[in-house]
Copies of this chain bind each other. A is one copy, B any other.
């Protein structure tokens, strides 16, 4: 049984484990004040072309989202998110638990646009309603789509004009930036969003996300918020060492490219078979729509999520590839899938 269920099924890239081993017995200060974390922060600033951002390493995505959003907002302010946004449904009310409403917007492709935001602003007019203040986007999105540079520019301008904070969840930022359709660079991001995170967990690290705070007014006292929410790891080195390894030689991008290439191989073959997809996804998550009988047969040897029933005979499944997905497995999967499909035709 091979799993395409997600991009965190394996441990970490071996180079990362090696780095942990090599540094293991060095004594370091705790709580993110170790030399590795400090080096990583400097390195990331360099990669982003910005010395004036603040960077914090945090264990996971939900934790990063809840700390950032609750630190950035005052009690009456709310976040706007696509209804598909991870914080809206899939984080057990983590944001609401910090006291903030999420205003959701129905979207087609997982992406928010200025017109969505305008609609929310138009509706929220007085103190009997929350004040929309932060815009949450994910790149790549939860359904595999990506924000192109111009998409982000338009959002950024709208947010700037309307005094909104633009926050980007980058759990799968590597995959987004390495997509064939992407025209956005790491260096572009800090001038377009107010804060974002670079996801490590889903791109080869054991744990870890790097939160980058670009807007000055959001920076103060951020470590207090981290500690208060249980996010200052005693052995913060665990995060620092991993991110250093990911970024010192472009490992981060190499891993994301592998994930995308593996997804692309499957996508291309399915397109040849005239299989339709639920969404346009140029990243490492794809959502082919398959006959239920095909899905059942595939499940004998492969595991994956059934994403959505499309009609009584067809469902969309989610195939996720990762830094660890190997070409021979993908080829075998394609072969198996074609076989099942051809059996279907002949039946």
The interface of chain A, by Cβ under 8 A from chain B, is: 2-3, 5-6, 8-12, 14, 17, 20-21, 23-31, 59-67, 70-71, 74-76, 78, 89-94, 96-102, 127-131, 201-202, 206-207, 221, 223-235, 237-238, 324
The distance in angstroms between the C-alpha atoms of A223 and B76, with both chains bound, is: 10
Q: How often does this chain occur in the complex, in copies? A: 4
Partner of A227, one of B29, B94, B232: B94
State the main secondary structure of chain A at its contact with B.
Answer: loop
Pairs across A and B, CB under 8 Å, 24 listed: A2-B27, A9-B27, A10-B27, A11-B20, A11-B24, A11-B25, A17-B21, A25-B324, A59-B233, A60-B232, A61-B234, A62-B227, A71-B75, A90-B128, A91-B128, A92-B127, A92-B129, A96-B96, A96-B101, A99-B99, A127-B224, A201-B233, A207-B234, A207-B238
Q: Given contacts A9-B30, A75-B71, are A228 and B92 in contact (CB under 8 A)?
A: yes
Q: Given contacts A92-B224, A97-B75, A228-B75, are A3 and B17 in contact (CB under 8 A)?
A: no
- How far, in Å, is A105 (CB) from chain B's closest CB? 13
Partner of A11, one of B11, B202, B235: B235
- How far, in Å, is A80 (CB) from chain B's closest CB? 13
- How far, in Å, is A170 (CB) from chain B's closest CB? 14
Contact present for B60 and A228 (CB under 8 Å)? no
Partner of A17, one of B24, B99, B324: B24
Chain B CB within 10 A, most for which of A14, A206, A226 = A206
The distance in angstroms between the C-alpha atoms of A92 and B5, with both chains bound, is: 37
Could you list 19 further interchain pairs (A-B, Cβ under 8 angstroms) beyond the known A9-B27, A60-B232, A96-B99? A5-B30, A8-B30, A9-B28, A11-B237, A20-B20, A59-B59, A60-B234, A64-B230, A74-B221, A91-B228, A92-B224, A93-B99, A93-B228, A94-B229, A97-B228, A127-B221, A127-B224, A201-B233, A207-B235
Contact present for A63 and B93 (CB under 8 Å)? no
Those 7 A-B pairs whose CB atoms lie nearest each other, nearest first: A63-B230, A76-B224, A11-B24, A93-B101, A127-B223, A9-B27, A92-B227
Contact present for A128 and B20 (CB under 8 Å)? no
- How far, in Å, is A187 (CB) from chain B's closest CB? 28
- How far, in Å, is A228 (CB) from chain B's closest CB? 4
Chain B CB within 10 A, most for which of A3, A6, A127, A129 = A127
Contact present for A91 and B227 (CB under 8 Å)? yes
List the B side residues contacting A207 at CB < 8 Å: 59, 207, 233-235, 238
Contact present for A94 and B24 (CB under 8 Å)? no
List the B side residues contacting A201 at CB < 8 Å: 233-235
Q: Given contacts A11-B20, A17-B17, are A227 and B128 in contact (CB under 8 A)?
A: yes
Q: Given contacts A75-B70, A92-B130, A130-B93, are A25 and B10 in contact (CB under 8 A)?
A: yes
